């Protein structure tokens, strides 16, 4: 009964959800000369800078794999997380003027941000696959195999995890506007505590254990196992990915639902 | 149709002072600061609505009068489901079309056509429905030449036209109107009032807020007079309007 209500409500507002996503897309690029091309160009250029700095200046490398592909996989996942969680954090606050005037399920705003950034994520897969195809020759060459069909599982986990985090963040930011600044710092910390540009095995065992509490590590590792090592991820890693994102999502939904009626007092 | 039972709504006027990290830290370590703030909070409480009750039957047109800040808009928002009342209950049977502020769902960077779809979606319409009514909306708004223009470049009257046209395209069971008929030029005012009348004669229940006693008298069957969040009088339009007018002149 309860679940059915949620689904009915979701159906009713799915058109609104699509409209909000397409609105974001249109507005974002409306006044730029290159337009939508930017959503392809921007991540490519950003990653090119990161790749140049880490592989040429700092001489980072990970034994046995193509470092560029290693870095790009991590960056693609992490960039999605940081952009989507950041923009869904402000989604409720930014739409207060609307929420104050008309009844709309409030969860739709953080959710629409996660989906909108998701489109960008899919576009950044194009340069990722470009790098995979051009990953040179020899031992470290990456191959596109049937295992790549499993990758969407890690994308889905990433999405659900981010939606859950987005719900929690957007709730907190209503009551505590300082969150916008705090989270900026948290994200910077997280950039270094997620093995994006380095290999976790370089670190002390106890730090490795700590880093494994970060669900992002597991989603990225899941993808890397397939892309870099042509291997099937272990059953354990399937379970960890699935469970971590579902638990986060459910916690996020509960936190959001419990507090959403109070939002209106904090405008 | 609509049953408002003992609804009270509390706002905390000083609330923005409370939600900073510094305040939380101070609260955490100092008991006296915590108590002081509790007192402060009590002082800052503001009851926008106090124990408001009334019933609206199907097809009735109910007007709301009262000075600025009397709680009219808050009451409509509670009925529309935008706010949950602090105390009391609101029972609503039927779909509501709230026109509390026109153009609330517009994105100024999008053009009129895109905004029709966006605003329609905000109102809870489906894509097929908007597709089928699109021409009707455009015709009613008379903005044929401006469909590809970003709404940013519209005048406020044009925005109101567009918003009114989108909002009234359904025949809702309950229509909530908060002082919006005074927008637009004379021609459009006339048109929107006619639209309201046709909705009313079609059996739509209307909740109507206005400062124009004339339009309240001409449209409403029943009037609720609010002052400082309390109901002063409920009754026929004639009677309540007369009493309200008296009190306003008396000031």
Contact B122 A97 (CB under 8 A): no
Is residue B156 classed exposed, middle or buried when 0-12, 13-18 and 19+ CB atoms within 10 A define those classes? exposed
Mean pLDDT of A179-189: 94
Q: Quote the CA–CA distance of A128 and A117 in Å, as a whole number.
A: 16
Return the minimum-mean-pLDDT range out of A67-71, A79-83, B4-8, B21-25.
Answer: B21-25
Position B15 pLDDT exceeds 60: no
> Is residue B101 within a helix (H) or strand (E), and if so which, with residue range?
none
Is some CB atom of chain A closer than 8 A to the CB atom of B82? yes
Contact B122 A176 (CB under 8 A): no
B182-241 residue pLDDT tens? 666 788 878 878 888 888 888 888 888 888 888 888 888 899 999 988 989 888 888 888
> B142 vs B158, B177, B191, B226, CA distance in Å?
9, 22, 11, 37
Q: What is residue B183's predicted lDDT score, i.e. its pLDDT?
A: 64
Is some CB atom of chain A closer than 8 A to the CB atom of B13? no
B43 by DSSP, 3-state: which? helix
Mean pLDDT of A15-43: 84
Q: What is residue A115's predicted lDDT score, i.e. its pLDDT?
A: 94
Q: What is residue A163's predicted lDDT score, i.e. its pLDDT?
A: 97
Chain A residues in contact with B83 by the CB 8 A cut-off are 264
The label of the residue with tokens 């590590």 reads: A217
Mean pLDDT of A108-128: 91
Check residue B231 and give left, alpha or beta (phi > 0: left; psi -120 to 50: alpha). Answer: beta
Q: What is residue A86's predicted lDDT score, i.e. its pLDDT?
A: 94
Chain B residues in contact with A177 by the CB 8 A cut-off are 19-20
Nearest chain A CA: its distance from B11 CA (Å): 7
Q: Are B60 and B222 in contact (CB under 8 A)?
A: yes
Q: Quote the CA–CA distance of B100 and B78 in Å, as a whole number.
A: 11
Contact A16 B122 (CB under 8 A): yes
Structure tokens at A227: 């892309």
pLDDT band, residue B163 (cuts 50/70/90): confident
Position B13 pLDDT exceeds 80: no
Structure tokens at B218: 């001409």
Chain B residues in contact with A26 by the CB 8 A cut-off are 109-110, 114
Chain A residues in contact with B123 by the CB 8 A cut-off are 102
- The secondary structure of B225-245 as a DSSP string is EEETTEEEEEEEHHHHHHHHH
Q: Quote the CA–CA distance of A216 and B154 in Å, as a whole number.
A: 46
The ipTM is: 0.76
Strand B45-56 to B61-65 pairing: unpaired
Strand B96-99 to B61-65 pairing: unpaired
B29-53 residue pLDDT tens? 777 777 776 666 666 778 889 998 9
Q: What is residue A160's predicted lDDT score, i.e. its pLDDT?
A: 97
For residues A173 and B12, which has the higher predicted lDDT (pLDDT)?
A173
Is some CB atom of chain A closer than 8 A to the CB atom of B117? yes
Is residue A160 classed exposed, middle or buried when 0-12, 13-18 and 19+ CB atoms within 10 A define those classes? buried
Q: What is residue B30's predicted lDDT score, i.e. its pLDDT?
A: 72
Position B158 pLDDT exceeds 70: yes
Q: Apex CA A29: angle with CA A125 and CA A153, to 5°?
A: 25
Using alpha carbons, select from A20, A165, A151 the residue that is nearest to residue A83: A165
Mean pLDDT of A62-81: 89
For residues A177 and A36, which has the higher predicted lDDT (pLDDT)?
A177
Contact B82 A103 (CB under 8 A): yes
pLDDT above 70 coverage of chain B, percent: 87
pLDDT above 90 coverage of chain A, percent: 46
Number of domains in chain A: 1
Mean pLDDT of B71-88: 87
Mean pLDDT of A137-166: 90
Position A44 pLDDT exceeds 70: yes
Q: Quote the CA–CA distance of B180 and B189 in Å, as a whole number.
A: 9
pLDDT band, residue A154 (cuts 50/70/90): very high
Position A171 pLDDT exceeds 90: yes
Position B17 pLDDT exceeds 60: no
Q: Which residues are registered as beta bridge partners of B208? A: B63, B177
Contact A99 B82 (CB under 8 A): yes
Nearest chain B CA: its distance from A87 CA (Å): 17
For residues A252 and B57, which has the higher predicted lDDT (pLDDT)?
A252
Spell out a b/e string for A32-41, using b for 16 or more CB atoms within 10 Å of the CB, else e. eeeeeeebee
Q: Quote the CA–CA distance of B70 and B63 in Å, as a whole number.
A: 14
Nearest chain B CA: its distance from A105 CA (Å): 10
Q: Which domain holds residue A258?
A: 2-266
Position A219 pLDDT exceeds 90: yes
Contact B20 A26 (CB under 8 A): no
- Range of A61-65, A226-230, B118-122 with top mean pLDDT: A226-230
B90 by DSSP, 3-state: which? strand
- The secondary structure of A182-207 as a DSSP string is HHHHHHHHHHHHS-SSS-GGGS-HHH
Domain ranges in chain B are 109-168
> Is residue B14 within a helix (H) or strand (E), and if so which, with residue range?
none
Residues 6+ apart with CB under 8 A from B97: B123, B167, B168, B170, B172, B174, B175, B176
Position B16 pLDDT exceeds 70: no
Q: How many residues does chain B have?
A: 251
Read off the pTM.
0.85
Average pLDDT, chain A: 89
Position A41 pLDDT exceeds 80: yes
B84-129 residue pLDDT tens? 888 898 988 877 777 766 667 788 888 899 989 988 888 888 889 9
Q: What is residue B107's predicted lDDT score, i.e. its pLDDT?
A: 85
pLDDT band, residue B19 (cuts 50/70/90): low
Using alpha carbons, select from B87, B67, B63, B86 the residue that is nearest to residue B76: B63
Q: In what order do the strands lie in the sheet with B174-178?
A: B96-99, B174-178, B205-209, B61-65, B222-227, B230-236
Q: How many residues does chain A have?
A: 267
Q: Quote the CA–CA distance of B230 and B7 in Å, as a whole number.
A: 10
Chain B residues in contact with A173 by the CB 8 A cut-off are none
């Amino acid at each position: 009964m309860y679940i059915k209500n949620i689904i009915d409500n979701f159906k009713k507002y799915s058109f609104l959800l699509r409209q909000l996503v397409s609105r974001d897309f249109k507005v974002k690029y409306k006044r730029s000369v290159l337009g939508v091309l930017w959503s392809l160009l921007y991540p490519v250029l950003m990653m090119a800078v990161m790749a140049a700095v880490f592989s040429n200046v700092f001489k980072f490398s990970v034994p046995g794999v193509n470092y560029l592909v290693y870095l790009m996989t991590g960056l693609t996942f992490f960039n999605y997380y940081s952009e989507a969680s950041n923009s869904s954090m402000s989604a409720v606050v930014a739409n207060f003027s609307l929420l104050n005037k008309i009844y709309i399920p409030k969860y739709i705003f953080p959710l629409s941000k996660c989906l909108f950034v998701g489109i960008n994520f899919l576009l950044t897969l194009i340069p990722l696959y470009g790098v995979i195809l051009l990953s040179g020759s020899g031992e470290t060459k990456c191959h596109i195999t049937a295992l790549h069909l499993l990758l969407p599982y890690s994308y889905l986990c990433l999405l659900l995890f981010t939606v859950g985090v987005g719900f929690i963040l957007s709730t907190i930011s209503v009551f505590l506007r300082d969150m916008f600044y705090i989270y900026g710092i948290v994200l910077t910390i997280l950039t270094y505590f997620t093995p994006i540009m380095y290999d976790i095995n370089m670190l002390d065992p106890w730090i490795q254990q700590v880093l494994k509490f970060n669900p992002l590590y597991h989603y990225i590792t899941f993808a890397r196992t397939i892309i870099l090592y042509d291997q099937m991820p272990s059953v354990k890693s399937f379970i960890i990915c699935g469970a971590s994102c579902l638990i986060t999502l459910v916690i996020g939904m509960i936190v959001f639902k419990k507090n959403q009626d109070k939002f209106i007092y904090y405008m | 149709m609509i049953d408002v039972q003992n609804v009270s709504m509390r706002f905390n006027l000083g609330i923005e002072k409370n939600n900073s990290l510094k305040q939380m830290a101070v609260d955490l370590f100092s008991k006296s600061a915590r108590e002081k703030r509790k007192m402060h909070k009590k002082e800052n409480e503001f009851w926008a609505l106090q124990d408001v009750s009334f019933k609206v039957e199907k097809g009735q047109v109910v007007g709301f009068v009262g000075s600025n800040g009397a709680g009219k808009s808050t009451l409509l928002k509670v009925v529309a489901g935008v706010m949950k009342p602090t105390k009391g209950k609101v029972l609503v049977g039927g779909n509501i079309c709230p026109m509390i502020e026109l153009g609330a769902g517009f994105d100024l960077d999008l053009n009129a056509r895109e905004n029709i779809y966006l605003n329609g979606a905000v109102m809870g319409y489906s894509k097929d429905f908007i597709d089928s009514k699109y021409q009707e909306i455009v015709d009613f708004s008379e903005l044929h030449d401006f469909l590809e223009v970003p709404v940013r470049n519209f005048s406020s009257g044009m925005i109101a036209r567009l918003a009114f046209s989108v909002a009234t395209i359904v025949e809702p069971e309950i229509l909530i109107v908060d002082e919006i008929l005074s927008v637009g030029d004379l021609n459009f005012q006339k048109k929107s009032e006619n639209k309201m009348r046709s909705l009313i004669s079609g059996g739509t229940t209307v909740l109507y807020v206005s400062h124009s006693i004339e339009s309240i008298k001409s449209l409403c069957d029943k009037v609720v007079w609010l002052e400082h969040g309390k109901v002063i009088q409920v009754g026929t339009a004639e009677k309540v309007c007369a009493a309200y007018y008296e009190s306003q002149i008396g000031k």
